[in-house]
Structure 1
Amino acid sequence: MRKDNSQPKQEEQSDQEDQEPITQKPIYEASSDTSSEEENNQEQSEDGEEIEEIANLFKKRTRRRRHFEDNEEDENLVDSILKEMDKAADDDIDANRNDLPALNKLKILDKVTKFLIVSKYHDLFLEMNGTFILGKWLAQMPDGSFPSTPLKLGLLQAIQDLPISTKNLQESDLGKSVMAIYRNPNETVNVKRIAKLLIDKWSRIIYEIETNYTILNQAEENEDPEVPRTEHPKPNLNKILYSQENNTPFARIPEKNLFDFKYRPTKSSEDHSLMPDRNSEAINRLKKKLQIRKKRVKRATGEMSVDGRNLY
């Protein structure tokens, strides 16, 4: 019997010894695995941040390169347009001196107006002395004639939105050319109107006249803070339509005025029945004149008798 009891105890101890290392091994292994995974994640995140920084640096460089490339393209385009405009103006001057039709500026007018409408090129155009070329285009020819009406009208309309400064006007003859067009007695109404608008605009810029009326009003208020205000008369309570005696919201019923006068009212106009009729006087005068004329005719001709007396 004792032998049988000892055997199961030994078996239980052996089972416990076998189970202890099995349960402890996975705990240490899991902790080591998690720590290694965290380290790997940190390394990957650091590597990812470095890669993003490098990529951003390359993007900035590419943007700068594109910006410089765009500026170079714009400068080349403006330079080519200005050279073409200058050549066309010189060719027209030579043609006018040789008594030939000056059509070179008209050929590229559409291209120039489309270019001047784009606000992107305005600053570059003015920096590269574009106002000098515009003054050359609008100037008089050697024989004293002005450019054609389509050229003047199209070019003046195109340069209305250009941010021209006093320095640009001083360095060119654009203002002189526009003033000559405005003073031309044979100029059309539309061209004169646009030229007048440009002259007024440039004169405000030269004399530094403020055109924003809100700023002008604020300046006046700052100079005269105590502006006398117009006093409005107080409302007459007797003329209010709504009765307030009984606090009722109904309108008052108008009362009929009694025309029981104690004194006869004075007449504002004279009695027409006592006044003579002017038309009748004029008719009587005409009748008298006709009678006088008839008498004169009778005296001149005389009365003719039956025998033929006073015929001649």
Structure 2
Amino acid sequence: MRLAADEDRHLNTQRAPATKKIAMLELAMSQINKHNLIEGFLEANVLSALTDWLAPMPDRSLPAAKIREQVIKWLLQLPPLSQDMLKTSGIGKAIMYLYKHPKECKLNKERCGKLISMWSRPIFNNSDDFKSLTKEERYERDREQQEKAGTNKREETQYDESGKPLRPGDPGWCYRARVPLPSNKDYITRPKWQSDVEIKRGRKKEVSRIDKQMRAFKEKKRLGKAQRAVKISIEGRNMAL
């Protein structure tokens, strides 16, 4: 794999098609996809060879899209890598380069983002399984974030020469936009439902053809019902004057 990467770089400097890696891609992926040999490949520093496969060419062009796709998919199948393994192999820098590259496709960028998030959690001691945290640990986490937010807010406060906080309209007050701090709290207490009324969302009953005909018949009968005749008097009796 290293030899194929070196030959492709040499061909690229001569402005010739780099076809060595793409020619052996199927064979290489069929070997490293053997689950019982993954640990052996990792110990043999296969990540360093994959870094060479993902590295840009001497003319700053990216390797073939099929190579990038297959290698990134294989990396997603691995457990989170240690910091030493990421540093010695350089695979983390290669994935970050593809993640930030403007010509990388959207789907590969999403995969690279998942890899970066997965690899950075052990480094920053972040857990993505919040079910494993106790209630006290969550309260402690929220308290630390509140203290951090309060520190940032105090740092944004403007003061005069005497150390007195400035207010809007005071001399020296600087009007500037501030980005609101996001809330990173975990809501662990769910309010109880206060209403005993059951909400049923059912489909509206469809009116059959027979019901439509019956309604039309009743409406026609009601409108066509003969009203009582009014007697007309020649002498003009019972006329509303």
Q: Normalising to structure 1: TM-score of the pair? A: 0.44
Write the distance in 2 (CA, Å) between the matches of 1:195 and 1:112. 21
228 and 143 in structure 1: CA distance in 2 versus 1, 3 angstrom threshold: closer
Alignment of 1:103-252 (within 5 A): 103-163=19-79, 164-217=81-134, 220=137, 230=191, 233=194
Letter in 1 for 2:68: K
1:52-94: per-residue Cα shift (whole Å, max 9, x none)? xxxxxxxxxxxxxxxxxxxxxxxxxxxxxxxxx1111111111
Letter in 2 for 1:188: C
Alignment of 1:1-312 (within 5 A): 85-163=1-79, 164-217=81-134, 220=137, 230=191, 233=194
SS of 1:159's equivalent in the other structure is: helix
Contact 1:136 1:173 in 2 (8 A): no
143 and 120 in structure 1: CA distance in 2 versus 1, 3 angstrom threshold: same
Write the distance in 2 (CA, Å) between the matches of 1:105 and 1:234. 65
User: 1:145: how far off?
Assistant: 0.8
Letter in 2 for 1:170: K
Letter in 1 for 2:48: F
218 and 86 in structure 1: CA distance in 2 versus 1, 3 angstrom threshold: farther
User: 1:126: how far off?
Assistant: 1.4
SS of 1:88's equivalent in the other structure is: helix
Identity fraction in percent = 30
Residue equivalent to 1:18: none
101 and 210 in structure 1: CA distance in 2 versus 1, 3 angstrom threshold: same
Contact 1:116 1:159 in 2 (8 A): no
Write the distance in 2 (CA, Å) between the matches of 1:191 and 1:173. 18
Write the distance in 2 (CA, Å) between the matches of 1:195 and 1:234. 46
228 and 177 in structure 1: CA distance in 2 versus 1, 3 angstrom threshold: closer
Write the distance in 2 (CA, Å) between the matches of 1:125 and 1:221. 39
Write the distance in 1 (CA, Å) between the matches of 2:107 and 2:194. 50
217 and 109 in structure 1: CA distance in 2 versus 1, 3 angstrom threshold: farther
User: 1:169: how far off?
Assistant: 0.5
User: 1:173: how far off?
Assistant: 1.7
Contact 1:135 1:172 in 2 (8 A): yes
Task: Give the length in aligned residue pairs.
Answer: 151
Write the distance in 1 (CA, Å) between the matches of 2:46 and 2:136. 36
Write the distance in 2 (CA, Å) between the matches of 1:162 and 1:223. 32
Richer in helix (by share): 1
198 and 233 in structure 1: CA distance in 2 versus 1, 3 angstrom threshold: closer
Pair member with larger Rg: 1
Unaligned runs of 5+ in 2: 142-187, 198-241
Letter in 2 for 1:148: A
119 and 234 in structure 1: CA distance in 2 versus 1, 3 angstrom threshold: same
Unaligned runs of 5+ in 1: 1-84, 240-312
Q: Normalising to structure 2: TM-score of the pair? A: 0.56
232 and 156 in structure 1: CA distance in 2 versus 1, 3 angstrom threshold: closer
TM-align CA RMSD: 2.7
